Structure formats: C-alpha cells, structure tokens
Amino acid sequence: MKVLSGKAAFKGVAIGKVKEFGGKQVEVNRTSVTDVEAEISRFEAAKETASDQLGKLYEKAVAEVGEENAAIFEVHQMMLEDEDYLDGIKGMIRDEQVNAEYAVSVTGQNFSEIFASMDDDYMRERAADVKDISARVVRILAGVEEGGAVMEEPSILVAEDLAPSETLQLDRSKVLAFVTRKGSTNSHTAILARTMNIPALVMVSEAENVDGLMGIVDGKEGKLIIEPDEETLKSYQEKLEAQRKEQELLNALKGRPSVTKDGRKINLYANIGGVEDAEAALANDAEGIGLFRSEFLYLQSNDYPTEEEQFEAYRAVAEKMGGRRVIIRTLDIGADKQIDYFELDREENPALGYRAVRICLNKKEVFRTQLRALCRASAYGRIAIMVPMIISVWEVLTVKEILENIKKELREEGKEVGEIEFGIMIETPASVIIADELAKEVDFFSIGTNDLTQYTLAIDRQNAKLDMFYNAHHPAILRMIRMVVDAAHEAGIWAGICGELGADTTLTEEFVNMGVDELSVSPAMVLPVRHKVVNM
C-alpha cells in the first residue's frame, strides 16, 4: 500500500481502478514542405474546424455546467484568433518551410512556457489552455478523432493535468474521481470537478506508474492510496457507503423550504469568496448569499481592483442568484489577510489593529470605489451591504452617510441604484453589548462567530497551541448570540449567523429555538443544515 499526498480540490471518497489519462496524443514529426502557402491554407482550414468544434463544445457546456463554466471555450476560441499566436505559426511554416503540425505544436509549446512563467495565477493557468487548443489543431491536421482515455469501467482518472475541454468530454458515468500531478485548486478543471460533484485532487506529484492499479481517493484529506490493504479498503468502503446514503437523503431536500415541522422558517444562505462560488451555492440550493467575502477580489489582484472590475463581479453574483438576497461584505482586510499594495505597517497585535472598517474609514477613496461598485450592481439584483468589525454607533452612522452620498452622486450621474438593505456584522463583544442601539440604525445583523469567539474568549484564531482552550460552544458565545437576536427582534430587524458556528449541525436546533432568522454556511453545508431544520 502506498499513500500519496496532494491537495484536495473537491471532497468525497472514490474507490476504483486507476486509469492514466494521456489525452489522445498525436506524434508530431518535423517534415519539410515545398508549397508553404498551401501548408498555411491547410493550417487555416484546421483552425476553422477547431473553432467550430469549440463553438459546439461551448453550447454543450452551457447546457451541462452553466454559462460561467462554459466560458472557457469562448476563451479558447479567442485564443485561437490571437494575432501573435497565428503569426508565430504561419511565420514558422513560411520561414522554416515546415509542416503545419510541427509549427502548431512548437508554437503552442512556446506560448505555454511563456504563460507558465508569469507571476499572475490567472495567466499561469492559461498555459494549459494554449496547449489544449494547439493539441486540438494538431489532431485535426493529422485527421485523428477526438477523445481521451477510453474507459471500459468507472475509474479514477490520473493525468499530468487536465484541460477543461478534456474534462468536459469525458463520459461522466465512468469517472469516479480526478487526480492530477500538476494543476491548482483554482484551475478551471478543479472548478469543473466541483460543479460536477466529483472528488478531485491536484498536485499529487508522485502519482506515477499507477495505471491499472487499485486506488482510493480521499478528497477530504487530499490523499491517493494505491493498492490499499484490506483494512484500509474496508474502512473506505464504509465511508463511501455512508457518503452515498447521506447524499441521497440530502438531494431529496433540494427545492424544499427550510421550515421546521411546526412551521418556523430559517433563511439558509451560502458563504462565498468569489463569483464562481455562486454556482456551488445554487447547485446546493442555497436560498441566497449570506456572506460574500469581497476581500478575495482584492487578495487576488496585484493592485486595487477598479470600480468597473468590482461592479462586474458583484453584478455577476447578483444576476446569477436571480431575485435571491446577496449580502456583500465590505472590504475586511488586515490581521491575517494582508495585501502588499495596501502597504500596511507591521503591528504588535494585528487582530486588534488596523483592519476592516477601520481601514475603510481611513482610506476613503478605496471605500468609495467599492461602495460605488456595490450601488451600481444593486440595479441588477437584490444586493445587501454588510460592514464588518463594528464596535460603535458612530462608525455605522459614518458609513451610512458615505453610502447615501454615493447613491445621490450616482443618481446625479444618471446611474440606476436599486433598493439596498444595510447591515452590520456582530463580531466584537462591544457590538453585542450595544446591539440594541445598533439595531436602530440597520436593517439586519449577521453574527461573525469566528471573530466573536476570538475576541470574547481572548483566543487568537490563528494560534494552534490554544486549541485546548478553544470551545466553540462556550456558554458566553451562545448567550451573546441570544442577546443579539433578542435585540434585533426588539427593534424589528432580523439576525443571522455567518461564522463557521452556523454550520455546526449540533447547534442548529438551539439556534432555531433562539429565533435566529438566517444561517449562512459553506455551499456544501446548506443541505446538511436544511436536513436538521426540516427534522426538528
């Protein structure tokens, strides 16, 4: 038995035979051509066929995995039209008098290496895409049919890397899991695996010479186990069976309201970190987005994201969620979330330092840019704005004033602004104690139990040494949640929980009994929590 480690890209267990996936590689030889113009025309025709194939793949993908995941094929079509790429290929055929297969293959390889060496994660991921489109054109030139590994039986697919188009063309009934030696958890393939609900591992660099062997994928621990011993196999078979039963039960809950037997309704929302996660929220039947951690947009960028970039992201989520509520949290950086271009000073106590709304109220232009983007996006869906790390009423009033000025300014510019609910996060003990006063100023509260626990128990959430003192169910926290809900209801507003505690199904009943109106959890936890609610 061999245990190989990698990174989990999507949860779940799979057991089966391992199949090495090489794609359909065409051996490319360099040959000389005499009629270079005829060779260039042959290339042009193959490029057109490739573009047609991609157009069809796009339509298939839209139907199967949604427009956003399908967009990669549009990107491929655009890359096929890239002037530099085309000039590279044609120039090579002309200058070196070589066959089109060779020119496409070498140019594709060169471009892929350039992309792979870039600093930007997004651009690095394009390396696999340019290889993918070049391989497609080569296949067409060589007259080879499409298709990857032929799998007679459902298998665990192991590959160096998987191109999105290869992933989508696989016979899904035959894929138990994806394992790649390279790849990243943010690659389109990993995103597709999540959308397709298939366990996936990336960066399992030692998964060599495993074709045909028995394997287990543990998508929770990020492990590929090769030729498991009997005991390991048995324990994973039990896990798999439990997983199957659980999923069946949970799927039956899709489309059902989250209502207790005696008729109490809970709004069951999802926490997301980016536009692409909205897909998972919908796939798991979330009734809205309870926390969009907008700082991920800033963390993924090398400079302040522009108003336009943010507007596009917020609008995309709002539109995707249809009329459902989408609560977007304003920038929450500082402490453990550091961003170079903000040039924040080193601090003695960063968790108690310059972070979240404290930064926003100092860097007003940065804050204004985000609020303008949010207000503009509100014309395209049901957007709510939520501010983190509040300790005082004056902070709320100041943010509200800035927000009102921005709405006015946008309307004067002739831009539409929709109805926007305004809420705050309750994640400091101070905000719990003055919740009655804060409640008069806002439309809702969302309790951030991660920080509320850290500040109440005086336990740094990053410090693993304090685990033995950390009690997520500490009575102080549970009493505080009750106090916040009571203060909210007293003022006629609603209160939810968006910290990790909201997904703790051992507490669901207690939360509902306290009168918590909303729980916002990771997409995969929506149905397990609904299961609790409908059975109480």
- In a 13 Å sphere around the CA of 54, the CA atoms on its Cβ side amount to 26
**Interacting partner of 19 out of ligand PEP, Mg ion, none (Cβ under 5 to 8 A depending on kind):** none
Task: List the interface residues with ligand PEP, window 441-470 (CB under 6 A).
Answer: 448-451
| Count of residues near ligand PEP by CB under 6 A | 10
> What mask of x and - would describe binding to ligand PEP in positions 323 to 342, judged by CB under 6 A?
---------x----------
Q: With contact defined as beta carbons under 8 Å apart, do 136 and 165 qualify?
A: yes
Question: Binding partner of residue 99 among Mg ion, ligand PEP, none, CB under 5 to 8 Å per kind?
Answer: none
Pick 187 or 453: Cβ nearer Mg ion: 453
309 secondary structure, DSSP code? H
156 CB-near residues (< 8 Å, 6+ apart)? 14, 16, 17, 18, 19, 176, 177, 179, 215, 217, 224
Closest CB to Mg ion among residues 13, 389: 389
State the virtual CA torsion across 373, 378, 384, 387 in degrees, nearest 10: 20
Residue 531 near which of ligand PEP, Mg ion, none (CB within 5-8 Å, type-dependent): none
Q: Is 489 a catalytic residue?
A: no
Does residue 498 carry a catalytic annotation? yes
Q: In this structure, what DSSP letter does residue 18 have?
A: E
**498 scored as a contact of ligand PEP (CB under 6 A):** yes
Give the CA radius of gyration of the chain: 26
Catalytic residue selected from 76, 188, 360, 375? 188
H-helix or E-strand containing 252?
A: none
Q: State how far the Cα of 455 lies from the Cα of 68, in Å rounded to an integer.
A: 39
Among Mg ion, ligand PEP, none, partner that 277 touches (CB below 5 to 8 angstroms by kind): none
The helix or strand, by DSSP H or E, that contains position 167, with its residue range, turns out to be helix 164-169
| Closer of 247 and 462 to ligand PEP (Cβ) | 462
Residue 209 burial (C-beta neighbours within 10 Å; 0-12, 13-18, 19+): exposed
Torsion sign over Cα 74, 76, 77, 81: positive
Asked if 14 and 177 count as a contact pair (C-beta separation under 8 A), the reply is yes
Q: Which is nearer to ligand PEP, 277 or 451 (CB)?
A: 451
For the bound state, the minimum distance from the C-beta of residue 490 to ligand PEP, rounded and expressed in Å, comes to 23
Distance CA 76, CA 62 (A): 15
Q: Which residue is nearest to Mg ion (CB)?
A: 451
| Tokens found for residue 40 | 């260039």
User: Could you say which residues in the range 261-320 bind ligand PEP, by CB under 6 A?
Assistant: 291, 293
Binding site for Mg ion (CB under 5 A): 427, 448, 451
Q: Which is nearer to Mg ion, 448 or 496 (CB)?
A: 448
In the list 499, 512, 518, 524, the residue contacting ligand PEP (rule: CB under 6 A) is: 499
Active-site hit among 76, 360, 498, 531: 498
Rule CB under 6 A: choose which of 285, 427, 517, 518 binds ligand PEP: 427
Q: Which does 499 bind (CB under 5 to 8 A by kind): Mg ion, ligand PEP, none?
A: ligand PEP
* Residues annotated as catalytic (active site), given as ranges: 188, 498
Residues in touch with ligand PEP (CB under 6 A): 291, 293, 332, 427, 448-451, 498-499
